[in-house]
Amino acid sequence: MLPRSFRTIRRSVLAAALGLFAVAPLSSQTPSRSTAPHLERRGAATQLIVDGKPFLMLAGELGNNAATTMEAVRPIWTNLVAMHLNTALIALSWAQIEPKEGEFDWSLVDGLLQGARDNHLHVVFLWFGSWKNTWSSYAPDWVKADYTRFPRTRQRNGTPDERLTPLSAVNRDADARAFASLMQHIRAVDAETHTVLMMQVENEVGSIPDARDYSPVANDAFAKPVPKALVDDLVAHKDTLAPDLRAAWQTSNFRTNGTWEELFGKALTTDEFFMAWHYATYINAVADAGKQAYDIPMFANAALIRTSYVPGQYNSGGPLPQSFDIWHAGAPRLDMLAPDIYFNFKEWTAKYDRPDNPLFVPETFGGAAGAPNAFYALGHEDAMGFSPFGIGGEPDATDVLGPVYDALAQLTPLILEHQSSGTGMDAVVVDGLTRAQRIRVGDYTLDLTPLGAGGATSRGAETPPFGLFIATGPNEYVMAGSGLGIKFTPETPGASYVGLGTVQEGRFVDGRWVTSRQLGGDDTGQGTALSLRGTPHGPGMLRVTLYRYQ
Ligand code: DGJ
């Protein structure tokens, strides 16, 4: 993420340049049907470009096995549409695609693509190849049964695990061949349509229960010098290395040749760095094989660390912040490293939103507590997408994700524009630690205070107060959210007092604002304070002009 001060300056400049309620679709790019989905730096943000235009993924990840047959997935599509998703994250298992070595079955992939297209949805496939949550349960039987040819990891005490070792070139090449075939097939059936946006390569890799693999091939590599390619990269980025990695390397006075323990010390973190290199280079080879067939964005996802856990209690060597430098050195073919966030949402998004790592949240908690984080990820951290896990069931009366995505779909052109301009937009989710908040958006500071009983909707779903605020002109805002009172303080020279001009509740229909009620009097604190109350169904939306007086 860019420093906040930089983003604020950029955002004020854009706010000044925009006209009153500038809400028309904002990208004027000419769609190019022949360009594959890709990531592109657009101003202050890296965005996913689909058919020549930036695309915001309002996504959900299906349960691991929810789409393993067409019969199972059939009822799910309409639920996704009803919840205003535009993208489904769907697992594809190596076992189903290559049930016999060298013999591929594309019927499921083709059926899923047809189902998605019939429902105007995009897809991000999750390649459950060598690993899913550290284990190898989605590898084909011909791999699982041949433990001599396809070696497993071993625990320190010698016990073998049902986890393919990342130190085996045979494992890697078998996975890479399958993945390359998959990408060839996707290219053949989707290169013009672009239903498939991105690929997640493997799932939540890492070593458990020990911090590293103790198989013979791993022990051998661990006793050898740290590969020169990694050392050279660390030397080149010495001043910006993750603090834990730098501190470990400093113990050897930044030695540039020697074993892992000679360079980084005898510690579980050294085991972790060793595994990070081997997972990264393995996955890089798989991604590279896939990209040679069809080059669309690819990423690896991380299971995150709970407080006081040590490597091996969490996925040691996964794409975690302390190993970012190693992953970036070992897996340059990956477009990003992505966090699966089930706690401390803000902390983790801040760690993964970096100038060298655009943010996508492929897994997180949904529901009333989690769905509002979509506002925060897209509006505060400039994420390219948000995707709660376990989506696909019929939305019930307390569903919050659907209404949240409905609002975000309406605001998508504005969000994309302001992500790229880096100015005039911010979002909050008010949790226990951050009750009242002050945020600068455009030419004003907004004082945000939780209203009454938070963001309870009349349907019984308890959301935290949340909101997304966009300066659409020098004295104009569009905002969406629930449970927040808002007062404005001017930040530019001129009269000191602020009044609310025109305040409208409403929604965007085909990019045009449609007012449902015009507000004044009691509903605007007699023209002094806004109440973003939300609707019985989730976030409400307001359009507001301000004026100043002395
Ligand atoms: C994280 C994994 O990546 C998902 O596949 C799934 O198993 C969830 N955990 C379950 O909470």
Question: Is 397 within the bounds of a domain?
Answer: no
DSSP three-state, residue 122 = strand
Residue 361 Cα to ligand 1 middle (Å) = 13
**Residues 441 and 319 both lie in one domain:** no
Q: Which atom of ligand 1 is nearest to the CA of 203?
A: 3
**Residues 218 and 83 both lie in one domain:** yes
Residue 240 Cα to ligand 1 middle (Å) = 32
Residue 340 Cα to ligand 1 middle (Å) = 8
* CB distance 389 to ligand 1 below 6 Å: yes
Question: Is 62 within the bounds of a domain?
Answer: yes
Alpha-carbon distance of 464 to 432, in angstroms, equals 9
Tell me which residue range forms the domain holding 202. 56-334
> With 0-12 CB in 10 A as exposed, 13-18 as middle and 19+ as buried, what is 164?
buried
- By alpha-carbon position, which residue is closest to atom 5 of ligand 1? 64
**Residues 327 and 422 both lie in one domain:** no
What does the pLDDT read at residue 502? Answer: 98
- By alpha-carbon position, which residue is closest to atom 11 of ligand 1? 389
| pTM score over 0.85 | yes
Question: Is 528 within the bounds of a domain?
Answer: yes
Q: Which atom of ligand 1 is nearest to the CA of 126?
A: 5
* CB distance 133 to ligand 1 below 6 Å: yes
Residue 124 Cα to ligand 1 middle (Å) = 16
Residues β-bridged to residue 535: 538
Alpha-carbon distance of 200 to 111, in angstroms, equals 19
SS3 readout for 271-314: HHHHHHHHHHHHHHHHHHHHHHHCCCCEEEEEECCCCCCCECCE
* CB distance 138 to ligand 1 below 6 Å: no
What does the pLDDT read at residue 501? Answer: 98
What six digits make up the tokens of 37? 């989905």
* CB distance 128 to ligand 1 below 6 Å: no
Q: Which of 227, 132, 215, 129 is nearest to 173 (CA)?
A: 129
- By alpha-carbon position, which residue is closest to atom 6 of ligand 1? 64
**Best substitution site from 128, 131, 203, 365 to test ligand 1's pocket, by max atoms within 8 Å of Cβ?**
203
What does the pLDDT read at residue 7? Answer: 30
Residue 332 Cα to ligand 1 middle (Å) = 25
Question: Is 398 within the bounds of a domain?
Answer: no
pLDDT in tens, the chain (550 residues): 333 232 332 233 323 332 222 333 333 333 344 599 999 999 999 999 999 999 999 999 999 999 999 999 999 999 999 999 999 999 999 999 999 999 999 999 999 999 999 999 999 999 999 999 999 999 999 999 999 999 999 999 999 999 999 999 999 999 999 999 999 999 999 999 999 999 999 999 999 999 999 999 999 999 999 999 999 999 999 999 999 999 999 999 999 999 999 999 999 999 999 999 999 999 999 999 999 999 999 999 999 999 999 999 999 999 999 999 999 999 999 999 999 999 999 999 999 999 999 999 999 999 999 999 999 999 999 999 999 999 999 998 889 999 999 999 999 999 999 999 999 999 999 987 666 799 999 999 999 999 875 455 555 568 899 999 999 999 999 999 999 999 999 999 999 999 999 999 999 999 999 999 999 999 999 999 999 998 877 899 999 999 999 9
**Residues 312 and 456 both lie in one domain:** no
CATH number at residue 182: 3.20.20.80
- By alpha-carbon position, which residue is closest to atom 8 of ligand 1? 389
Residue 63 Cα to ligand 1 middle (Å) = 8
DSSP three-state, residue 360 = coil
- By alpha-carbon position, which residue is closest to atom 10 of ligand 1? 389
**Residues 318 and 193 both lie in one domain:** yes
Q: Which of 306, 334, 362 is the last residue of a domain?
A: 334
Residue 9 Cα to ligand 1 middle (Å) = 39
- For the segment 412-460, what is each residue's pLDDT rounded down to a tens digit? 999 999 999 999 999 999 987 666 799 999 999 999 999 875 455 555 5
Question: Is 158 within the bounds of a domain?
Answer: yes
Residue 137 Cα to ligand 1 middle (Å) = 13
Question: Is 17 within the bounds of a domain?
Answer: no
Alpha-carbon distance of 545 to 408, in angstroms, equals 21
Question: Is 393 within the bounds of a domain?
Answer: no
* CB distance 61 to ligand 1 below 6 Å: no
What does the pLDDT read at residue 22? Answer: 31
Q: Which of 334, 368, 402 is the last residue of a domain?
A: 334
CATH number at residue 424: 2.60.220.20
* CB distance 335 to ligand 1 below 6 Å: no
Q: Which of 291, 312, 334 is the last residue of a domain?
A: 334
Q: How many domains does the chain have?
A: 2
> In Å, how far from its chain's centre is CA 358?
8
Question: Is 28 within the bounds of a domain?
Answer: no
What does the pLDDT read at residue 24? Answer: 32
* CB distance 202 to ligand 1 below 6 Å: no
Residue 390 Cα to ligand 1 middle (Å) = 9
